Amino acid sequence: MASKSDNATPSENPENGESETGSTETMGFQAEVGRLLDIVANALYSEREIFLRELISNAADACDKLRYLAIETPALSEGDSDYAITLDVDRDAGTLTVSDNGIGMNRDELIGNLGTIARSGSSAFVDNLTGDQKKDVSLIGQFGVGFYSAYMVSDLVSVESQRAGEEGAWRWTSDGRGEFTVQPVEKDGRGTAITMHLKEDAKEFLEDFALEKVVKTYSDHIPFPIRLVNEPSTAEEGADDADTEAQEDAEETRQLNTGGALWTRSKSEIEDQQYTEFYRHTAHAFDEPWMTVHFKAEGMIEYAGLLFVPSERPFDLFNPERLSKVKLYVKRVFITEECDELLPSWLRFLRGVVDSEDLPLNISREMLQNNPVLSKIRSGVVKRVLGDLVKKAEDDKEGYEKFWETFGLVLKEGLYESGGDQEQILKLARFRSTTQDGLTSLADYISRMKDGQTAIYYISGEDKDALAKSPQLEGFAAKGVEVLYMTDPVDEFWIPSVGGFEEKSFKSVTRAGADLSDIKKEGDEEKDADKTEEEKAESSVDSLVIALKLALGDQVKDVRASDRLTASAVCLVADEAAMDLHLERLLKQHKQLEQTSPRILEINPDHALIKALNAKAGDDGTGDIGEAGSLLLDQARILEGETLPDPSAFARRLADVMAKAFG
Ligand code: ADP
Ligand code: MG
């Protein structure tokens, strides 16, 4: 309830602390809070009614927290276990009070929670304050800024609170200008009452219809009753009227929201706006959900879920803990939002709730680990979400591609972590490729495969544009064979563990074994097959291969004639059994690998330089090819974007060759 002392002695002004001499402490806000409050209090903006959504959301969280603790310790909620949120309007005083009988706050919590910014939305907003002020202010509505949004409509806010199970209550008061005070008070029962002294231009929030509209719009989904109480007015003309009428007025209490957990209602009764507001409340987010998954599983194990895929990346998506954020409920009672077992970390972008009928209410953290019921729920939920994503990918191609750009990176972690969902995730995966403009699925890639092509070809590296110039792609381009770009670091890890898709294996074009000879060049089928022995002998560069092997020794694993080059003279590829080039470089960068292993040097038999050198090498490969071996190898390294082991030797050799050419 609202603070009784305020209403009982309206002539006194308890907020200034004069009545409690000695025990009132004054403290300063954390600097960021000060900046935030300045903007919140002074700016003009359109969506200020959201202050009520924020306070109700906090009150509901407080009720959830106590309801959970009271399962273990029933004494905490003794005498008052009907959780509710109350709006009290006092027209004479011009105040609106939002109160709850939830967990409450003690003195230290009041100071810590309301004097510093701990909250994601608020800190994201403060981070945004740098730069263009106008743009920033318009974001208040989006971020919500939590408790502080009360200052959008108030000159003065006082918070009275008593922590459940503790003695004594405290009043926190501030006009939002740099300081707040804390003092002990008498309070009628546990919980929190937040009284706002409304600004002159915010008196509309004393009106029933205004409050009702705001509650219906933003807070209808709150599972606790939200009640509106009208305090009897003493100043109004009504006081002269019949006593009975005034009495009836005084006692009016009305529930404004539908109440009951949103996920227990049937889909047809729920409007999009309600889903959105529920998402924002549970996720502490301010964007629109991109996808909503509302389901009920019946049978051996019963559970319901209301899950959302956000449209924006949550700020903590790449925190190293990779925690799932979906809230676990048991029979409508909130249990925890830190339940690793509920969902795999590669679905950590999901928000919302899962509510089980079969888990015991007093389940402990330890019991949640390796719990067979929970693991069945987990696999059921994963199937449901992946299935819905597959559908969404078909129905809304454009929206799906945006989803993939936003969360694909996380989902791909499931390719090496998931037990048995790889097939489904591969269906969802999208890639860029050498022949397509946008993103492509693997199924579409396969539908474009050439005759004789048996593998899904890819090239991995950091940057698509740089990769596009790789010499190893030349032969694929010439034969019109599509190659996928794998530019995320996780790609190096899932490819080896996945193997293939629809019986087609993944093959790196920078590795030996990515053989193009079975794939016919378009419109070129006859010619290739009809090559005479003579022609074949002519394009043989066997002598040069021997000469290069002699010259380069163990700097290379092997030297081979290439079928993947058309324009470039040389390129490097990894041995089929060795690590792929990009992965080696990644590991070396992160000091996980000391030395890259020797590579295979491939030479282009149709290149003029190679032909000329082949002639120089003589019939048995012992002819003098000078410094050509080292130069070719260094050239191949440069094409790979690698640093040369001995750049000065390279420069000297190049200078010698140029001197001969121009000398
Ligand atoms: P958030 O709700 O995102 O944590 P807020 O600014 O809305 O951020 O609230 C800050 C903190 O103040 C909350 O996390 C909570 O600990 C505390 N708080 C606010 N309102 C209440 C309340 N009615 N009952 C108990 N604690 C509250
Ligand atoms: Mg909040």
pLDDT the model gives residue 9: 32
Top mutation candidate among 106, 108, 113, 120 for ligand 1, by most atoms within 8 Å of CB = 113
pLDDT of 267 > 90? The answer is yes
- Is domain 539-662 in CATH 1.20.1730.10, yes or no? no
Query: From ligand 2's centre to the CA of 148, what distance in Å?
Result: 9
Q: Are 603 and 559 in contact (CB under 8 A)?
A: yes
Look over the chain and give the mean of its residue pLDDT values, rounded to a whole number: 86
Lowest mean pLDDT among 38-47, 407-416, 547-556: 38-47
More confident residue, 372 or 234: 372
- For residue 114, the ligand closest to its alpha carbon is 1
Helix or strand (DSSP H, E) at 639: helix 628-639
Q: Summarize the confidence of residues 566-575 as an average pLDDT.
A: 92
396 Cα distance to chain centroid: 20
Q: What is the CATH class of 262-404?
A: alpha beta
> Residue of the nearest CA to atom 10 in ligand 1?
113
Closest CA to 205 of 34, 6, 55: 55
Q: Summarize the confidence of residues 4-9 as an average pLDDT.
A: 36
Ligand 1 nearest-atom number relative to CA 120: 3
Place of tokens 């929201």: 257
- Ligand 1 — pocket residues by CB below 6 A? 54, 58-59, 62, 100, 102-105, 113-114, 119, 121-122, 146-147, 192, 284
For residue range 584-607, list pLDDT tens digits in order: 888 888 888 887 788 999 999 999
> Which stretches does DSSP call E strand in 480-540?
484-486, 500-501, 504-508
- Is domain 2-255 in CATH 3.30.565.10, yes or no? yes
> Residue of the nearest CA to atom 18 in ligand 1?
58
> Which stretches does DSSP call E strand in 29-142?
85-90, 95-100
Query: From ligand 1's centre to the CA of 90, what distance in Å?
Result: 24
- CATH 3.30.230.80 in the chain: give the residue spans: 262-404
Phi, psi of 449 (to 5 degrees): -65, 150
Top mutation candidate among 29, 61, 149 for ligand 1, by most atoms within 8 Å of CB = 61
% of residues, the chain, pLDDT over 90: 60
pLDDT the model gives residue 130: 56
Lowest mean pLDDT among 124-128, 235-239, 636-640: 235-239
> Residue of the nearest CA to atom 9 in ligand 1?
147
Helix or strand (DSSP H, E) at 272: helix 272-283
Closest CA to 311 of 346, 286, 294: 286
CA distance 312 to 258: 29
Query: From ligand 1's centre to the CA of 58, what distance in Å?
Result: 5
- For residue 160, the ligand closest to its alpha carbon is 1
In terms of average pLDDT, the best of 60-69, 138-147, 247-256 is: 60-69
For residue range 318-339, list pLDDT tens digits in order: 888 888 999 999 998 888 888 8
Query: From ligand 1's centre to the CA of 102, what distance in Å?
Result: 11
> Residue of the nearest CA to atom 23 in ligand 1?
59
pLDDT of 16 > 50? The answer is no
- CATH 1.20.120.790 in the chain: give the residue spans: 539-662
- CATH 3.30.565.10 in the chain: give the residue spans: 2-255
Q: Give 299-362 as a DSSP string.
A: SSS-EEEEEEEESS--TTTT-TT----PEEEETTEEEES--TTTS-GGGTT-EEEEEESSS-TT
CA distance 47 to 60: 21
Lowest mean pLDDT among 9-18, 29-38, 383-392, 458-467: 9-18
pLDDT the model gives residue 551: 92
> Residue of the nearest CA to atom 7 in ligand 1?
146
Q: Summarize the confidence of residues 50-60 as an average pLDDT.
A: 92
Helix or strand (DSSP H, E) at 533: helix 533-538
Given strand 455-460, what is the order of strands in its sheet? 432-433, 484-486, 455-460, 504-508, 500-501
Phi, psi of 62 (to 5 degrees): -65, -40
For residue range 109-163, list pLDDT tens digits in order: 999 889 887 655 566 666 666 555 544 555 655 565 789 889 999 999 999 999 9
3-class secondary structure, 95: strand
**Angle CA 596–640–630, to nearest 5:** 75
User: pTM for the complete prediction?
Assistant: 0.78
Query: From ligand 1's centre to the CA of 157, what distance in Å?
Result: 14
pLDDT the model gives residue 47: 76
Determine how many CB atoms are found less than 10 A away from the CB of residue 400.
22
